[in-house]
Amino acid sequence: MKFMMMMHAPRAGWEEAGIGTWPPADIRAHIAFMLRFNEQLRESGELVDAQGLALPQEARIVRAAPQSGEPIVTDGPFAESKEFLAGYWIVDVESVGRVHQIAARVSAAPGKGGVPMSIPIEIRQVMSKPPEEL
């Protein structure tokens, strides 16, 4: 079964309290952790895809104009939201229990001073084709 794991980051953190304010050694440790995490997922044969997203300040909302269908582009309504999607993984695992384990591991990525961050990871199952008829 395939799951998408979405990593949410607190919006407030990025510029003032966020990773830019950590000591450089902690930043490097965090990056190294993420690299190792991805490598382990790949080695276990469970990684389908993983992407990091650019920060939300460049995010835009697009809607079709009612008559013409032309794109109407606005800044995201997310400006007020507390969290943003920082990136996602798609994993192919044998059980729900397994995806919980994987998510918990990345949630514990080291933060400032090496303290585990408990990042919220949202788990959503990826839809699949209907089961074979018996």
Partner 1 sequence: MTHSPSPLDPEGLRRGEREPDVEPEAELLRTLAPQVLGSVVRRFGDFASAEDAVQEALLAAAMQWPEQGVPQHPRAWLIQVASRRMTDHVRREIARRRRETVVFEERQHDLAPAADRDAATAHDDTLILLFMCAHPALSEHAAIALTLRAVGGLTTGEIASAFLVPESTMAQRISRAKQAIRKSGVPFSLPGEAEREQRLTAVLHILYLIFSEGYVSSAGALLTRADLATEAIRLARAVHQLLPQHAEVAGLLALMLLTDARRDARTGEQGELIPLAEQDRTRWHRGAIDEGLALISATLSRGAVGPYQLQAAIAALHDEAARAEDTDWPQILALYGLLERMTPNPMITLNRAIAAAMVEGPAAGLALVDPLDTDTRLGGHYRLDAVRGHLYEMAGDLETARRHYLAAAGKTASIPERNYLTTKAATVGERIAGG
Sites of contact with partner 1 (CB under 8 A): 7, 9-10, 13-15, 17-24, 27-28, 30-32, 34-35, 38-39, 42, 50-55, 57-58, 86-89, 106, 109, 111, 117, 119
Q: Are 84 and 78 in contact (CB under 8 A)?
A: yes
Nearer to partner 1, 129 or 133 (CB): 129
Nearer to partner 1, 61 or 115 (CB): 115
Least distance (Å) from partner 1 to the CB of residue 64?
23
Q: Cα torsion for 37, 111, 99, 125, to the nearest 10°?
A: -110
Q: How far apart are CA 90 and CA 2, in angstroms?
A: 7
Least distance (Å) from partner 1 to the CB of residue 133?
27
Least distance (Å) from partner 1 to the CB of residue 121?
9
Exposure string over 34-50, b if 16+ CB within 10 A, otherwise e: beebeeebeeeebbeeb
Tokens matching residue 106 = 């990345």
**Beta partners for residue 7, in sequence order:** 87, 121
Nearer to partner 1, 1 or 25 (CB): 25
Nearer to partner 1, 5 or 67 (CB): 5
